[in-house]
Chain A
Amino acid sequence: MSSRLLAVEDLGLTYGTGQTAHVAIAELDFAITTGEFVSIVGPSGAGKTTLLKCISGLLPPTSGDVRLSGQVVDRVPDRLAMVFQDYSRSLFPWLTVGGNVDLPLGRQGLTRQDRRKRVEESLNAVGLAGFAERHPWQLSGGMQQRVAIARALAYQPEILLMDEPFASVDAQTRAGLEDLVLAVRERFAMTILFVTHDIDESVYLADRVLVLSRSPARVVADLETALPHPRDQIETKERGDFVHLRGEVARLIRAESMAGASNAIP
C-alpha cells in the first residue's frame, strides 16, 4: 500500500460561538495516497473552500486533525502549494509573470541560476514560454491562472491544492486548463486535491471523487473513477462508465441540495 500522504480525521470547523455558531464542517474523514488525483465536489456553500483552508493550514480546525506525511498540520506546511479561484487577486501586479513564479523560491536555498531554470521550465510546462517579462494584468484570465499553476509547479510541492481554479474562466478555456492540469500531473507525478462545483470536471480529472454533503460538510461518497489515461475531453466523456459515474455523482449532489436542514447537527 503506497503511503498515505494526506489524512483528514474527524475534522470539524465551527464559525463563531453560542447562538451565532455556524458548523461548516463536521466529522469529515478521508485520506489521499501519494500520486493520487482526488477531486472534491459538493453543493454550493458546502464548505469546500473552508475545507481547503483547514487542510492548507490557513485556518485551524475546531476539532479533528489534518496530517500531511504523518505530521499534524497546525501551520502552513512547507511542501504544500495552492491555486486559488481568484487568480487576479492571488498574483502580484507589481511583479512580472516571471517574478511571480520566482517569488516563493527564495526560501529553498537555490542558486540564482537554478531559480531561473525552474521558472523557465514551469512557464514552458504551462505553455507560457516567453511570457516571463509580461505583467499579469496584460494576460487573459486563463493565462493568469496558468501563471498561478506555474508558480505552484516551480515550488515543487508534495501536494497541490486547487480551489475551484477554473470557475472564473469561460468553458473553452476551462477545457484547455483541465487538460493542462492532467498533463502537468502526468509529467511531474503530482498529488492533487481538486475542489470544484462542476460535476463533469470532477469526474473527468480525478482518480477518486469525494462527494460532500451540504453544510455541515461530511463525505457522503468516495468513488473511484477507474477511467483510463490519457483522458480526452470528447472521448472520455462519451464512455459509458463516465456517464454512469457522472450521473451517480449528480444524483448524490441533487439529493444533498434538496435535503436541507435535516443534515444539520443538533
Chain B
Amino acid sequence: MIATVTETRQARGLAARWRATATGRSSGFLVRWGALLAVGVVWELLATRSRSPFFPPMTDILTRARDLWFSGDLAAGFVAWDRVQVDLVPSFTRLALGWLLAAGVGIVAGVVIGRARNLADYVDPLVHFLRAIPPPALIPPFLILLGQGDRMKVALIAFGVVWPILLNTIDGVRSVDQVQLDTARIYGIGVRRRLTHIVLPAAAPRIFAGLRISLAIALILMVLSEMVGSVDGIGFGILQAQRSFQYVNMWAGILVLGIAGYAINAGFLRIERRVLAWHRAEKGGAR
C-alpha cells in the first residue's frame, strides 16, 4: 500500500513538474519537436550509412506506414480503412474494452471495500499478491482457460489491470478526510450524495493515478497477447512482419504503435487534467 501511495504521489508530482517546466510555451514547443526531429534525422543518417536491413531509414519507414494505412481517398478521410480494420481497430477495441471493464469493476469494488469498515484489511494481502503477478505471466493460464480469441484478450487485459485501480480506489476512499465526512454528517448529506459528492471527488486523484498505471499495463498486455496468439492486430502485425523478413513493415508497426500509445496517454492526461483541475491548482504543483 505504501509503495502505491508513494509511487503515485511522486510520479504525479514528477509528471506535473515535468510538464509545468516549460521554457515558455512557444519556445518549449519548438524545443520539444525539434528534439524529436533531430532524432529522426540522426536515425536517417545512421541507417542510410549502415545499410543494415534491420534498421531501415526513417524515410522508408514513414513511406511504408503511409502506404499501408493511408489512402489518397478524400472520401475515406485519407485513411486506408481495410488495412486499418485489420491492423489497428481490433487492437484498440480490445484495449478499450478490457481497460474499461477493469475500471468499472475496480472502482465500484474499490468504493465498496474502502467504505466497509474492515473489509479492506481482509482483502488487502490477496489483492496485493495478485497485483504483484507480472502481467505477462497471466498469458499462459488465460490461454488454457479461454483459448486464443478476442474474449481471452479482453479478459486478460481486464484481469491484468484491475489491481492497481482497485488498490488505488480503496486507498483513496479510505483516505477521505474525516473532517469532510463529519461536515457531511452535520449538514445531513445522505449516504448516496456523500458518495458521489464527497467520497468520489476526494478519492479521484488516487483513482486516476491507478487508471493511468493500468493504461500502461493494458497496452503491454494488448501487444503481448497478440504476439502470442492472434489473427489480427498491431502486435500480431509486428511479429508477422518480423517472421516474414519484412523489416520495414515491422518498423512501421512499431512506429504506429508508439504514436498510438503516445496519443492514448496524452488523451488520458488531458481528461485527467480537466477532471482534477481543482486538485492540481490546490496543490499548486508543490511537492
Contact B188 A104, beta carbon cutoff 8 Å: yes
* A89 B185 Cβ-Cβ under 8 A: no
CA of A132 to CA of B115 in the docked complex: distance in angstroms? 32
Q: What number of B residues sit within 8 Å (CB to CB) of A?
A: 21
Chain A residues within an 8 Å CB radius of B177: 89
Q: By the criterion CB–CB under 8 Å, are B180 and A90 in contact?
A: yes
B99: min CB distance to chain A, Å = 24
In A124-166, the 8 Å CB interface with B consists of 135, 137-138, 151, 155
* B1 in the interface (beta carbon within 8 A): no
A163 to chain B, nearest CB (A): 10
Report the minimum CB–CB distance from A156 to chain B (whole Å): 12
The answer to whether B197 and A58 touch across the interface, beta carbons within 8 angstroms, is no
Please give, as numbers and ranges, the residues of chain A lying within 8 Å of B193 by CB-CB distance: 106
> Is the C-beta of B182 less than 8 angstroms from some C-beta in chain A?
yes
Most buried by A among B182, B183, B185, B281: B183
> Once the chains bind, are B180 and A89 in contact (CB under 8 Å)?
yes
A84 touches B188 (CB 8 A): no
Q: Which residues of B in the span 153-199 have a Cβ within 8 Å of any Cβ on A?
A: 177, 179-180, 182-183, 185-190, 193, 197-198
Instruction: Please report whether the interface of chain B is mostly helix, strand, loop or mixed according to DSSP.
Output: helix
Residue in A closest to B204 when the chains form the complex, CB atoms: A94
8 Å CB contact of A90 from B183, B189, B190: B183
- Decide: A107 near B186, CB < 8 A? Known: A84-B179, A93-B278, A93-B282: no
Q: Given contacts A89-B179, A89-B180, are A56 and B187 in contact (CB under 8 A)?
A: no
Contact of B186 among A80, A135, A137 (CB under 8 A): A80
Assess whether B281 is in contact with A76, with CB atoms less than 8 Å apart: no
Q: How far is the CA of A29 from the CA of B201 in the complex (A)?
A: 40
The one of B183, B278, B279, B282 in contact with A84, judged by C-beta atoms closer than 8 angstroms, is B183
Smallest Cβ distance from A154 to chain B, in angstroms?
10
Contact assessment for A107 and B197 in the assembled complex, using a CB-CB cutoff below 8 Å: no
Contact residues in B for A56 (Cβ distance below 8 Å): 186
Residues on B with beta carbons closer than 8 Å to the beta carbon of A93: 278-279, 282
Nearest CB of B to A140, in Å? 14
Are A103 and B188 in touch, CB under 8 angstroms?
A: no
Task: Determine whether the beta carbon of B278 is less than 8 Å from that of A58.
Answer: no
Q: Is A242 an interface residue (CB 8 A)?
A: no
A12 to B125, CA, bound (A): 40
| Residue of A with least CB distance to B190 | A107
Is A170 an interface position by the 8 A CB rule? no
Chain B residues with CB under 8 A of A76: 185-186, 188
Smallest beta-carbon distance A69→chain B, Å? 16
Main secondary structure of the interface of A (DSSP, over half): mixed
- Complex CA–CA separation, A78 to B189 (angstroms): 10
- Taking the closest CB of chain B, its distance from the CB of A106, in whole angstroms, is 7
Interface size, chain A (Cβ < 8 Å) = 24
Bound complex: CA A57 to CA B190 (Å):
15
Say whether A58 contacts B186, CB under 8 Å: yes
Complex CA distance for A92 and B204, rounded to whole angstroms: 13
Point out the residues of chain B lying under 8 angstroms from A82, CB to CB.
183, 186
Smallest beta-carbon distance A99→chain B, Å:
9
Judge if A81 is at the interface, Cβ distance under 8 Å: yes
B278 near A94 with CB under 8 A, answer yes
A92 touches B180 (CB 8 A): yes
Are B179 and A107 in contact (CB-based, < 8 A)? no
Q: How far is the CA of A57 from the CA of B182 in the complex (A)?
A: 10
Considering only CB atoms, which chain B residue lies closest to A100 in the complex?
B183
Assembled-state Cα–Cα distance A71/B162 (Å) = 48
- Complex Cα distance, B193 from A215, in Å, reads 37
Chain B residues within 8 Å of A94, by CB: 201-202, 204, 278-279
Contact: B278 with A135, CB < 8 Å? yes
Assess whether A178 is interfacial by the CB under 8 Å rule: no
Could you tell me the distance in whole angstroms from the C-beta of A79 to the nearest C-beta in chain B?
9
A86 within 8 A of B: yes
Given contacts A78-B188, A103-B189, A106-B189, contact A137 B281 (CB under 8 A): yes
B179 touches A86 (CB 8 A): yes
Indicate which residue in B182, B185, B190, B198 contacts A92 across the interface (CB closer than 8 Å): B198
Across the interface, which residues of A come within 8 angstroms of B180, CB to CB? 89-90, 92
What residue of chain B has the Cβ atom nearest to residue A78's Cβ?
Answer: B188
Given pairs A94-B279, A135-B281, 8 additional interface contacts (CB within 8 A)? A56-B186, A58-B185, A76-B186, A82-B186, A84-B179, A93-B278, A94-B278, A137-B282
Top 9 A-B pairs, shortest CB-CB distance = A104-B187, A89-B179, A94-B201, A137-B282, A94-B278, A82-B186, A90-B183, A93-B282, A89-B177
Residues of A within 8 A of B (CB): 56-58, 76, 78, 80-82, 84, 86, 89-90, 92-94, 103-104, 106-107, 135, 137-138, 151, 155
